[in-house]
Structure 1
Amino acid sequence: MALSHPALVTQTGNGALASFSSGDRGLVAVIGLVAIIALVFSFVLFREVLAANHGTPKMVEIAEAVQEGAQAYLKRQFRTLSVVVVIVFLLLFVLPADNAGERIGRSIFFLVGAGFSGAIGYFGMWLATRANVRVAAAANTEGRERAIRIAFRTGGAVGMATVGLGLLGASVVVLGYTNNAPRVLEGFGFGAATLAMFMRVGGGIFTKAADVGADLVGKVEAGIPEDDPRNAATIADNVGDNVGDCAGMAADLFESYAVTLVASLILGSVAFGTKGLLFPLIVPAIGVLTAIIGVFITRARPNEGGLKTINRSFYISAGISAVLCAIAAFSYLPSKFSKLKGVGVDIDGSQIAQHGGNPAVIAIVAVLIGIVLAAVILWLTGVYTGTEGKAVQDVGKSSLTGAATVILAGISVGFESAVYTALVIAAAVFGAFLLGGASVSVALFAVALAGCGLLTTVGVIVAMDTFGPVSDNAQGIAEMSGDVSPHGAQILTELDAVGNTTKAITKGIAIATAVLAATALFGSYEDAIRQAVSDAAGDISNNTNFTNTIVSPNTLVGVIIGAAVVFMFSGLAVNAVSRAAGAVVYEVRAQFRNHPGIMDGTERPEYGRVVDICTRDSLRELVTPGLLAVMAPIAVGFGLGLGPLAGYLGGAIATGTLMAVFLANSGGAWDNAKKLVEDGIHGGKGSEAHAATVIGDTVGDPFKDTAGPAINPLIKVMNLVSVLIAPAVVQLSIGKDANAAVRIIIALVAVAVIVAAIVIAKRRASALNDDPAAAETVARVG
């Protein structure tokens, strides 16, 4: 993400992009109109879902309890995060900018990005908590096809809102700021990423604390079904599905969309000039149209698996996107770089206009790489997490020898799948980079365009992701109400298993977008440094301190720290779930012990207590991982320098990619292995094999729904923070404004904040682990 670097100097000679023509402005306006169409279509799907039958009074009663808990949690979360948003908004005014207009615009659109991310999350939760009961009712009275339609169109409504708001925000910035749009877009992407990270971590802790606690006390200790109404954690479990998988993941995918657009628009303005600033908007606009098609054609056929139905829609919409993007590239982009208006200067000082390649061919091949990447990850994730795949079946078979072998088998699946997924992503990045030839700027733009190609599928991807928690909730409502026939219950069980796989797929695609966006941002990190060094000291060549390679010891230290932060972040998230789940376990045990009428159905559990525990603990626990993500790059950059910070980002991207896929796929494999056993294989429910897979599933819960998906926004937040602080680090390191004392003080303050947050978190853990009786008291009194 370049900050007024040399490559932004264009043929106009004034360091700014050539002014937009009336045709350019008209094109951006049309793209904005497409974004509005997406929002209108979202509303149409929203109305269709709410018009469906909402089931029996008992179903409605349970659904309303889930709605109340989810809304209460998000309101408290937004109050907590509003403080963070205001602080960051003020700090952005302090960071360097070329002029006051850029600084103000960047800060304002930080709020816009954060607001859009929060709105998408809230909308996803609100609709999902009303669709779940309708899916349960449809499975009971109208059949499998109708249930699939309602669940998928719920996700479609959220997906269209996601792409609509993302495209609208970027279009408004480009139309309003033209030359200064890249800098202002930094704020938009940073706002979306920051809020998404906190929502993903907080929602993930909530949902898995309730889920793990409910499983351990209900299934393992009390021997009752997963969503038995006698379990006080069941309502919290269903609430968690919505605040974690719906609100958290919707915000996560929105920020993936926003940050990828940010990287593409900035790099495009360098490599392709004005058309490079606009073409990345055209590609996702095409994605809006194909997503509408993908949602509409999703209809289950008789005797066809739900996953096959959803995958078919994805592949068809991706294929249409590829064709339309090719038409757009050859229609909009010229065949020679010399015909591009406002094309820039490459990093080595050469004119990009002298590039011998074909811009249209480079653009379409890059976009196709992104589309193919999404399709390959969809297939590969299904292989390792689908119930029909050998990997999950082997994990299920391992349950015959106990919980330990289930855990070992699931870990093996996660490790193996992470390698193949990482290699596929790396191949896509490298393939796109090769398209640039000798021009680094064109190569980086090609990587960003690959991300745009992947974005064409986001509308359908969000629909696939939301399908999972809606189906899971529907099954829970059906079991708690007891108003669903055995046939309807079987339909919901199937849809829940499909939803586990679709959620794993979307996590894989989300991390792929994170890597593509982060690679583009990371690749332009040097450009930001070069301009800052040039401004501070004039001749870059004399400043050898800023020429770093991976073999430099200080840069290698940054790589190690970046990798370590990913591990620490993951450990904090998993440990947070462990502590919160422990409090849930003590509460549910206490209710069973103190109210014996719960088990025979004469007393109603106190569901609200568990919801309160999960809400309190998740909001408290999300602070430490969030501070680590923001403060660690500040500590490295100001304390060790720009070379180690570059290494830090490289280490975080590489390790984060492998860790995120490992956690997501191992957790998905454990969950679906449990479902295989519950369907009657290897002894069925109540068997020793079932108990073993339940243990595996509880281990996998924080893997796949808390730590794993939170790494996706983590990578982008750290990249954006690094790019934003780079000019300030340079100013304090060289030239007339150099001040080593201030730089070290900033680094020490950042380290102190991280250490204090971790120490406080560890003390909470010690209090829980050392004194279970005290922990039980805490759980009951809050």
Structure 2
Amino acid sequence: MKIEVSWFFYASIIVSLLAFGAAFWLYKWVASQPSSNKRIEEVGKLIRNGANTFLTKEFKTLGRFCAVAAIIIFILLPVPIWVGNFRDNISMAVSYLFGTCFSAIAGKVGISIATIANIKAAEASTKGIKPSFMSGFRGGAVMGMAVVGSSLLGVTLVLMLTDNTTALLGFSFGASSMALFAKAGGGIFTKTADISADLVGKVELGIPEDDPRNPAVIADNVGDNVGDVAGMGADLFDSNVASMSAALVMASALDKITGGSLNMSMVFCYAAIGLFASIIGVLTARMNDKENPTRALNSNTYVTTIIYGVLTALATYLFDFEWRIWLASAIGLCVGVLIGIASDYFTNDTKKPVHAVAKASESGPAFTILSGISYGLMSTLPSMIGIGLSALAAYKICEPLGEGYPMFGIAMAAVGMLSIVGMIISNDAYGPIVDNARGLVEMGDLGDKALEITDSLDSAGNTVKAITKGFSIGAAGLTVIALLGAFISEVNASALEMGKEVLTGFDVLNPAVFFGLLVGAAIPPVFSAMLMLGVDRNAQRMVEEIHRQFREIKGLKEGHKDAVPEYDNCIRIATDGALKELIPAGLMTILATIIVGFIGGVQAIGGFITGNIVSGLIFALFMSNAGGLWDNSKKYIEAGHNGGKNSETHKATIVGDTVGDPFKDTAGPSINTQITVVSLVASLTATLFLTFSLFG
């Protein structure tokens, strides 16, 4: 059967529209759920307004940055405007802006539904665990469908309109740069509020987590939305676009050699099937009244995985795709699930590491930190082996197909790993929604039974969030390995035009490569430190404000009805601090890539990307898993183990959770976006580094 890539363009657009239809139906379902508690509605409105205010200010700040970046891209990329084709530069700049807009929309959609679903899930908890779970999950699923639908639609439209894979990298860079800053800004906001609320409320005053007396409590709930919903949506939108872009760059190069469009068709076919499988998985997801919510969330993921595997095998047979590439894609997906299971072992409160940290905490916070860091470091090994084995297996399986196919196999493993990202986002967004719901239940005084239900849902959200973060970090690892292949493809295309020697690999004994390797490996820890110092500085300002309010507002500490906290002050501190801190860390990574390129040329950049990938993956896995471990150790003790609430052991785990918060929700998940941005910047500026470098 002769394959026309246009068939799959249209199929991708149709599936994207189906995803938008599913998102709209789910949105209407969640919005139609009953809610009548005035106090919950009032607090929910405060959260919604705070989240939208932050997002508006953040988008204004990022809009200025993106406008400047678009002008620079127009002047310099893909080649300087005075030596290249004027239209190519316009196409690149427009694609970049297109990517930033799609990424911003992903975050806005998430905020819109999450601030409705949290109210619905809170009120539904009075009727039982099933209706509350369904409100939270379907709220998250709106975002899952909208984000993945828009990423597939965006990639399809850019390629249809430009017929240029380099412009596709520009679109991906727009998505990545927006995601980098959105994740960093949202992460700084949410952890500023969370740390401040916990340290003053729980540790100093011994009041409950979501006590309305705490001035930072609304900012904490706002932070769940701007960090864990809007930032995460932009992050996974970026990962999905980047994996498809890397695969399509290599598929296009292979199709030019072999003739036809078989490889590009395969990328679009598998991506469309992945979204279709997620639509089926989301719409058929259920939970009974006696089921464990963690098991329900995980079973939804496994069902979607099986549907994807069966449908892609059928498509491979029908369209005569290469079975070896299907196998590479299947390996990527299976390894993604295994990485998630490994993360689950180190963070689930039913497993040994959480129990061991809880036990160690009986001796004080120093042992909480020490044991948590140790298990966090141990947790990196299974995932790194999984990423490495999947890349090695995909490479070797596709090697017999000829030159270029081994790296394409790795790219398709990344596409496979991210194929069910619609379900992954649904599970991930569920977490902050039910976390907010738990706070609303406490502030609305809906009773102990409702609080017990939302505690159970929140615990499942924390566990599954650790799994989805491991999954997304693993996918980012394979994606950036594929982007390294895309970088080589871009360099070689330019080298052939300029009559220069093509790249076949990077020799670590080459001093330029080794220089880039060392600098690239140092970027993730510096990037992490800048983000966490931003949280530190901002949280100190907020703690001072909380102390001031408890000191100056009479009756606030005692809970008098006429003593109302000044919630807006804490939201303003978190917002202003996050906007001040979000640009420097992201800008540092972009500038470092460009400086290394101009010093050592494309060889140094190859080393830089490699070092950045290895160091970045280790730091991302360590921080995400250690943070999840500390969080669930605290919740395990709050459930009545090792001394229970308000014991010295509990206070020790709160300190651990305070350290873990910026680990797992600020720096850790931002690193996988950072390594993607570095790889895309390198690919887009490859021609500049070929043209000029000091030692290249």
TM-score by length of 2: 0.96
The answer to whether the 8 A contact 2:324-2:397 is kept is yes
Where does residue 678 of structure 2 map in the other structure?
A: 718
Aligned equivalent of 1:65, options 41, 46, 49: 46
2:120 maps to what in 1?
134
CA distance in 2, matches of 1:84, 1:276: 36
Structure 2 runs not aligned, ≥5 long: none
Residue 140 of structure 2, aligned match among 138, 144, 155: 155
Please give the per-residue CA displacement for 1:573-614, whole angstroms capped at 9, x wherever unaligned: 111111111111111011111123101223111000000000
Do the aligned residues in 2 keep the contact of 1:196 with 1:255 (CA within 8 Å)? yes
Range moving further from structure 2, 502-511 or 110-119: 502-511
Matched, 1:566 2:553: no
- Equivalence for 1:626: 586
Pick aligned residue for 1:100 from 73, 86, 110? 86
Instruction: Select 1:263's aligned residue among 246, 250, 254.
Output: 246
Q: Distance in 2 between matches of 1:719 and 1:638?
A: 15
Partner residue of 1:645?
605
Q: Residue 677 of structure 2: SS of its match in structure 1?
A: helix
> Which digits, 9 at most, give the CA deviation of each residue in 1:369-409, with x for residues without a partner?
12102211221111111111111111112121111111111
Partner deviation per Cα, 1:437-490 (whole Å, 9 max, x = no partner): 2534101111111111122210100001001100110011111221x1211110
The corresponding residue for 1:145 is 130
Q: Is the 8 A contact 2:328 2:413 kept in 1?
A: yes
Residue 44 of structure 1: aligned partner? 25
1:224 matched to 2:207: yes
- The CA deviation string for residues 308-351 of structure 1, in whole angstroms up to 9 with x for no partner, is 011111001101100100111122135xxxxxxxxxxxxxxxxx
Residue pair 1:173, 1:184 contacting (<8 A) in 2 also: yes
1:220-255 CA-to-partner distances (Å, cap 9, x unmatched) read 111111111110000000000000000000110001
Q: 1:66 to 1:704 in 2, by over 3 A?
A: same
Task: Name the aligned partner's letter for residue 56 of structure 1.
Answer: N
Q: Does 2:204 correspond to 1:244?
A: no
Aligned-pair CA distance for 1:670: 0.3
Corresponding letter in the other structure for 2:5: D
| 2:298 matched residue in structure 1 | 311
273-282 vs 461-470, greater mean Cα deviation: 273-282
- Cα distance, 1:640 vs structure 2: 2.5
Q: Please give the secondary structure, in 2, of the residue aligned with 1:387.
A: coil
In 1, the alpha carbon distance for the partners of 2:62 and 2:365 equals: 39
Q: Which whole-Å CA distance do the structure 2 matches of 1:473 and 1:669 have between them?
A: 20
Q: Which residue in the other structure is 2:271 paired with?
A: 284
Corresponding residue for 1:674? 634
**Cα distance in 2, alignment partners of residues 174 and 562 from structure 1:** 31
Per the alignment, do residues 675 and 594 of structure 1 end up closer, same or farther by CA in structure 2, a change over 3 Å counting?
same
How far did residue 146 of structure 1 move? 0.8
Partner SS, residue 550 of structure 1: coil
Q: Using the alignment, how far apart are the partners of 1:290 and 1:36 within structure 2?
A: 14
SS state of the match for residue 597, structure 1?
coil
- The one-letter amino acid of 1:165's match is S
Question: What does 1:360-399 align with in structure 2 at a 5 Å threshold?
Answer: 360-399=322-361
Partner of 1:762: none
User: Is 1:120 paired with 2:106?
Assistant: yes
Q: Which residue of 2 aligns with 1:10?
A: none
Residue 592 in 1 paired to residue 550 in 2?
A: yes
Matches within 5 A, 1:545-584: 548-584=506-542
Q: CA deviation at 1:547?
A: 7.6
Contact 1:139-1:147 within 8 A present in 2 as well: yes
Aligned to 2:645: 685
Kept in 2, the 8 Å contact 1:661–1:708? The answer is yes
Q: Please give the secondary structure, in 2, of the residue aligned with 1:696.
A: helix
In the alignment, what sits opposite 2:95?
A: 109
C-alpha contact 1:504 1:668 (8 A) present in aligned 2:
yes
Give, in angstroms, the shift of residue 82 of structure 1: 0.3
What corresponds to 1:401 in structure 2? Answer: 363
Aligned to 1:459: 422
Partner of 2:285 in structure 1? 298
**CA distance 1:167–1:520, shift in 2 (3 Å):** same
Number of equivalences? 684
Structure 1 residue ranges (4+ consecutive) displaced by more than 4 angstroms after TM superposition: none
CA deviations 1:104-149 (Å, max 9, x no partner) are: 2222121111101000101101210111011010012x21011111
Partner SS, residue 398 of structure 2: coil
1:73-102, Cα deviation, whole Å (9 max, x unpaired):
000000000011111111112223563333
Alpha-carbon distance, 1:23 to partner? 4.4
Q: How far is the alpha carbon of 1:512 from its aligned partner?
A: 1.5
2:658 maps to 1:698: yes
Find the counterpart in structure 1 of residue 501 from structure 2: 540
**Corresponding position: 1:53 with 2:14:** no
Question: CA 1:396–1:277 in structure 2 vs 1: closer, same or farther (change >3 Å)?
Answer: same
Amino acid at match of 2:591: M
CA distance in structure 1 between the partners assigned to 2:505 and 2:564 by the alignment: 67
Q: What is the rounded CA distance, in whole Å, between the counterparts of 2:236 and 2:132 in structure 1? A: 24
Aligned twin of 1:528: 490
Q: Which moved more, 1:21-30 or 1:298-307?
A: 21-30
* Aligned partners of 1:110 and 1:190 also within 8 Å: yes
2: CA distance, partners of 1:408 / 1:22: 57
TM-superposed CA distance for 1:415, in Å, is 0.5
Looking at structure 2, the residues matched to 513 and 60 of structure 1 have their Cα atoms a distance apart, in angstroms, of 38
Deviates more, 1:107-116 or 1:638-647: 638-647
**Residue type of the partner of 2:200?**
V
Query: Is contact 2:3-2:319 (8 Å) kept?
Result: no
1 CA distance for matches of 2:109 and 2:24?
Answer: 11
- Shift of the alpha carbon at 1:296? 2.4
Specify the alignment match of 1:25 in structure 2.
Answer: 6
Matched AA of 1:477:
L
What is the alpha-carbon distance in structure 2 between the residues aligned to residue 429 and residue 415 of structure 1? 22
The structure whose Rg is larger is 1
User: How far apart in 2 are the matches of 1:27 and 1:507?
Assistant: 30
- Whether the 8 Å contact between 1:158 and 1:462 is mirrored in structure 2 is yes
Superposed CA RMSD: 1.8
In the TM superposition, residue 55 of structure 1 has moved relative to its aligned partner by 4.1
SS in 2 for 1:232: coil
Q: Deviations over 1:396-434 (max 9, x none)?
A: 121211111111111112101111111111111111111
Residue 22 of structure 1, CA deviation: 9.4
| CA spacing shift, 1:547–1:289, aligned 2, 3 Å | closer
- Pick one of 174, 180, 187 that aligns with 2:159: 174
- 8 Å contact 2:186–2:228 — kept in the other structure? yes
The letter for the 2-side match of 1:475 is: R
SS at match of 1:711: helix
d(CA) in 2 for partners of 1:547, 1:495: 48
Task: Output the CA distance in 1 between the equivalents of 2:486 and 2:224.
Answer: 38
**Secondary structure of the residue that 1:200 maps to in structure 2?**
helix
5 Å-filtered alignment, 1:509-520, equals 509-520=471-482
Is the contact made by 2:103 and 2:238 (CA closer than 8 Å) also made in structure 1?
Answer: yes
2:374 maps to what in 1? Answer: 412
Q: Percent identity?
A: 37
* 1: CA distance, partners of 2:320 / 2:85: 32
| Distance apart, 1:530 and its partner CA | 3.0
SS at match of 1:630: helix
- Alpha-carbon distance, 1:64 to partner: 0.3
- 2:28 corresponds to which letter in structure 1? R
Distance in 2 between residues matched to 1:87 and 1:227, nearest whole Å = 41
Match of 1:275 among 262, 276, 284: 262
Match of 1:494 in 2: 456
Q: Which of 474, 496, 503 matches 2:437? A: 474
Secondary structure of 1:114's partner?
Answer: helix
